[in-house]
Amino acid sequence: NAGVTQTPKFRILKIGQSMTLQCTQDMNHNYMYWYRQDPGMGLKLIYYSVGAGITDKGEVPNGYNVSRSTTEDFPLRLELAAPSQTSVYFCASSYAGRTEAFFGQGTRLTVV
Amino acid sequence: AQSVTQPDIHITVSEGASLELRCNYSYGATPYLFWYVQSPGQGLQLLLKYFSGDTLVQGIKGFEAEFKRSQSSFNLRKPSVHWSDAAEYFCAVGAIKDNQGGKLIFGQGTELSVKP
């Protein structure tokens, strides 16, 4: 069972470059989320989606964009990478708002 | 403001000893409560959850947690720790209102080390 799959697992970006973190889930979940994890800070919600075509900002959305064209995919876009975006990024999904979230393995991003 | 506090950043216990990880939350409505575990380099795995009903919930790997509304706490316990339990543990709260349970607010995490 694949669950939530994130690619790539690791990436190094130069300041000002752009990239897309991919996330796909095969559980037919309506809700999807992007979190970032920084040491000693827990996880912070970046963006979330409650269904295809619907996205909304979380706690720390600045510098990121998302889209949700299908139920399965929820890519996260960094347009102008900055050192402050060095972090571990987790994608998650849940069947509905009232159920637990399932997490991917994470993408470790370093911006230099 | 909604928040989750895990007072202990790092805890070390001996293998076979009991464990309690503390979690306090601040939330204006009835919360969903979760404990997740993260092994090094891995994603988060759900240990247990509380939505409603019995305030003592059982989870995987022999863990349990008790919801105490009067204390705004959801502490995680295990009677006998195994070396494989060494990991980082996160408490999280999700909103029931407006079907926002997946929008989780996480605590800072507690790193557990296990001595042989």
- pLDDT, tens only, A65-90: 999 999 999 999 999 999 999 999 99
| pLDDT surpassing 70 at residue A105 | yes
- Between chains, do A43 and B104 touch, taking CB under 8 Å as contact? yes
Stretch B91-98: mean pLDDT, rounded? Answer: 76
pLDDT band, very low/low/confident/very high, at B53 (cuts 50, 70, 90): confident
Contact A105 B42 (CB under 8 A): yes
Residue B97 has a pLDDT of 59
Does the pLDDT at position B30 exceed 70?
A: yes
pLDDT at A99: 76
More confident residue, A42 or B87: B87
Does the N-terminal peptide bond of residue A8 adopt cis geometry, omega within 30 degrees of 0? Answer: yes
Give me the phi and psi of B32, to 5 degrees please.
-90, 145
Give the confidence band of B2 by pLDDT, cuts at 50, 70, 90. Answer: confident
Tell me how far apart the terminal alpha carbons of chain B are, to the nearest angstrom. 41
pLDDT of residue A35: 96
Chain-chain contact of B104 with A31 (C-beta, under 8 angstroms): no
DSSP assignment letter at B102? T
How far is the C-alpha of A8 from the C-alpha of A104, rounded, in Å?
A: 11
Sequence-ordered strand ranges (E) for A1-112: 4-7, 10-13, 19-25, 31-37, 43-51, 54-57, 64-66, 76-78, 87-94, 102-103, 107-111
How far apart CA A99 and CA A12 sit, in angstroms, is 34
User: What pLDDT is stored for residue B72 in this prediction?
Assistant: 93
Q: Which residue of B has its CA nearest to A46?
A: B103
How many Cα atoms within 13 Å fall on the side-chain side of residue A63? Answer: 15
Amino acid at B69: R
In whole angstroms, give the CA distance from residue A6 to residue B66: 33
User: Is residue B94 scored above 90 in pLDDT?
Assistant: no
Which residue matches tokens 């999904």? A93
Query: CB-CB: which of B36, B43, B102 is closest to A31?
Result: B102
Q: How many Cβ contacts (< 8 angstroms) between chains A and B? A: 72
Of A33, A43, A98, Cβ closest to residue B99: A98
Write the DSSP assignment of B31-74 as a string of letters.
EEEEEEEE-TT--EEEEEEE-SS-SEEE-GGG-EEEEEGGGTEE
Residue B37 to residue B35: CA distance in whole angstroms:
7
Question: Facing residues of B1 across strands?
Answer: none
Q: Checking DSSP bridges between strand B104-106 and strand B73-78, what pairing results, if any? A: unpaired
Query: Which amino acid would we find at residue B105?
Result: I
Measure in Å the smallest separation between the Cα of A25 and chain B Cα atoms: 14
A43, A60, A103: which to substitute to probe chain B, counting the most B Cβ within 10 Å? A43
Q: Look at B46 and A50 and tell me if their CB atoms are within 8 Å.
A: no
